[in-house]
Amino acid sequence: MRFSNLQQWLFWLDTQRVICSAPQSFEQMRTIVQRLNLASPHYSVITVTGTNGKGSCVALLKSIYMAAGYQVGTFTSPHLFRFNERICFQDQCIDDVLLCEFFEIIDLARGDITLSYFHFSFLAALLWFQSLQLDVVILEVGIGGRYDPTNIIDADLSIITSIDLDHCERLGYTREAIALEKAGIFRPHRPAICGDRHPPQALLDYTRRMDIPFYYCGKDFDDMILMVIEKLSHKLPVNKEHIQTGMKQPALPWRCQLVEKEGVKYLLDVAHNPAAVRRLAEKIRDLAVSGRVFAVCGMCKDKDLVQNMSPLVDRVDGWFVATLNNARGASSKELGDILTQLQGKNIHCYDRANTAFRSARDQLQKGDLLVVFGSFFMVSDIHF
């Protein structure tokens, strides 16, 4: 075995960089899937893409299908605290020993093909799912859709939760271009559900041309999750009681999560693109805070940092920005300079997210609100 424990594997995987084009990488990934005999799963597959809302959609569907008695596997990314969160069976995350075994199998099967951290993750998920007696697997797309590794597996039903600008350098700089990249997960004659109330015309034209049964929010339904359940009811029947039970599952952590301690409110959110930050700004307005509003933030440098900060500038009384402990992280100086350009108030820069969080927390008084937002990479560094 190349490595004896999971941390060694993950450290090594973090250094793997695929240098070929996205289409070539996708075809190489398909080769590995075929070598491992993973291309034709024995379970139903739901694939979920979208700019925002993917994780919540996966969690709700999982909860409802579990309430109905089905055996459910999920693959999600990124993780908040532990890598193992990405691969789950029911409410159980995969354990370290199995992950190491699967990584070794993948390493041997790949030959001279270079696979990324995400590739290894997804292949390990498929290996575990193959060994289990599953009814349905819900796959969360990493980026886009067309060339994402998850798209190698044909979905019985595909979902686009929302369409907005993010990862533009890879997906395109318009909603039309991004929508078509995401629509790459669709399959002819299989239902596709879209939670966006105004899907681009290019997407509507594409689904008609490819003979894809396409349903979108505001026209064909009002609740995306219920539409998914209905369209798969011939394979996975679910009754009203199962839906009601499943809908009661707790909200995912760090998705506009509001916590109150000793008269102070904390709003925690992994908002890291303009659409998500705009929604976060609306949530802050709805809270009608009586005191001051502080913000702790860490972002990746490949994001639109100006658009990610500007919705909150007028509402935040003090900024505590941090350099992420990750190669993709923007420096606190970069974030501070942008906030200065945007005329942000009381800007403080830190080398670590947790240092920024502690400093902001020390300023709080009753009635204040501390907003902690930004990259998933920031979350694991903050000790609440």
pLDDT tens digits along 206-256: 999 999 999 999 999 999 999 999 999 999 999 999 999 999 887 788 898
State both tokens at 348. 């403080």
Virtual torsion, Cα 73, 78, 84, 88, nearest 10 deg? -10
> What is the 3-state composition of the chain as percent helix, strand, coil, each rounded to the nearest 5?
40, 15, 40
d(CA 291, CA 316): 11
CA 176 to chain centre: 21
Cβ(337)–Cβ(305) under 8 Å?
no
pLDDT at residue 384, rounded to an integer: 75
Residue 21, classed as helix, strand or coil, is coil
d(CA 343, CA 349): 15
- Fold of the CATH domain 257-379: Protein-Tyrosine Phosphatase; Chain A (3.90.190)
Return the HEC string of 316-363: CCEEEEECCCCCCECCHHHHHHHHHHCCCCCEEEECCHHHHHHHHHCC
Pinpoint the alpha helices (H) of 68-116: 96-110
Give Cα separations from 197 to 161, 172, 213, 222 (angstroms). Answer: 10, 20, 16, 9
Cβ neighbourhood burial of 97 (10 Å; 0-12, 13-18, 19+): exposed
Q: Which residues of the chain have pLDDT under 50?
A: none
d(CA 270, CA 373): 5
Indicate the DSSP class of residue 85.
G
Indicate the DSSP class of residue 149.
G
pTM for this predicted structure: 0.93
Cβ(132)–Cβ(39) under 8 Å?
no
Give me the architecture of the 6-247 domain, per CATH. Answer: 3-Layer(aba) Sandwich (3.40)
List all residues 6 or more positions away from 26 whose beta carbon is below 8 Å from its beta carbon: 147, 149, 151, 152
Cβ(369)–Cβ(353) under 8 Å?
no
Cross-strand bridge partners of residue 296: 320, 372
d(CA 77, CA 126): 14
pLDDT at residue 252, rounded to an integer: 85
* Encoded amino acid at 148, one letter: D
State both tokens at 190. 């299989």
Give Cα separations from 111 to 28, 29, 38 (angstroms). Answer: 11, 12, 17
List all residues 6 or more positions away from 350 whose beta carbon is below 8 Å from its beta carbon: 320, 321, 322, 323, 332, 356, 359
Per-residue pLDDT tens over the stretch 361-377:
999 999 999 999 999 88
Domain limits, the chain: 6-247, 257-379
Cβ(323)–Cβ(298) under 8 Å?
yes
Indicate the DSSP class of residue 110.
H
Residue 116, classed as helix, strand or coil, is coil
